[in-house]
Amino acid sequence: MNNYTVLFPWRWVVFVSILVFLFGCQSDSKQADNDPPPNIIFILSDDHAYQAISAYGHKLNQTPNIDRIAREGALFTRSFVSNSICAPSRSAILTGKHSHINGKVDNFHPFDWNQNNLAKSLKRGGYQTALIGKIHLDGTPQGFDYYNVLPGQGHYYNPDFIENGVRTQHQGYVTTLTTQFALDWLKNKRASDQPFVLFYNQKAPHRMWMPEPRYFEAFETVNFEVPNNFFDDYAGRPAAAQHEMGVFKDLDLVYDLKLLDQGNTIKSPYRSFFQNNYDRMSAEQQSRWDAHYQKIISDFMIQDPKGQALALWKYNRYMRDYLSTVQSVDDGVGEVLDYLDAEGLSENTIIIYTSDQGFYLGEHGWFDKRYMYEESFRTPLLVRYPKKIKPGLVVEELVQNIDFMPTLMDYAGLSVDPDVQGMSFKPLLDQEAVQWRNALYYTYYEYPGEHNVPRHHGIRTKDYKLIHFYYDLNHWELYDLKNDPNEMNNRYDDPSYTDIRSELHQQLVDLRELYKDSDAMDQYYLENTLKNQEN
Q: pLDDT per residue over 67-107, tens digit each?
A: 999 999 999 999 999 999 999 999 999 999 999 999 999 99
What residues does each domain of the chain span? Answer: 10-209+324-440, 235-318, 443-534
The CATH code of the domain at 443-534 is 3.30.1120.10
Q: pLDDT per residue over 459-492, tens digit each?
A: 999 999 999 999 989 999 999 999 999 999 999 9
Whole-angstrom distance, CA of residue 364 vs CA of residue 429 = 34
Average pLDDT of the residues in 6-19: 39
Helix, coil or strand: residue 112: coil
Whole-angstrom distance, CA of residue 273 vs CA of residue 210 = 13
The reply to whether 10-209+324-440 and 443-534 are identical in fold is no
Whole-angstrom distance, CA of residue 458 vs CA of residue 509 = 10
Q: How far is CA 140 from CA 90, 95, 236, 316, in A?
A: 15, 16, 45, 39
Average pLDDT of the residues in 42-66: 98
pTM of this structure: 0.93
Assess if CATH 3.40.190.10 describes domain 10-209+324-440: no
**pLDDT band at residue 535 using 50, 70 and 90 as cut-offs:** low
Q: Residue 4 pLDDT > 50, yes or no?
A: no
Whole-angstrom distance, CA of residue 375 vs CA of residue 379 = 8
Q: pLDDT per residue over 316-363, tens digit each?
A: 999 999 999 999 999 999 999 999 999 999 999 999 999 999 999 999
Contact 44, 362 (CB under 8 A): no
Residue 529: per-residue pLDDT: 81
Q: pLDDT per residue over 367-377, tens digit each?
A: 999 999 999 99
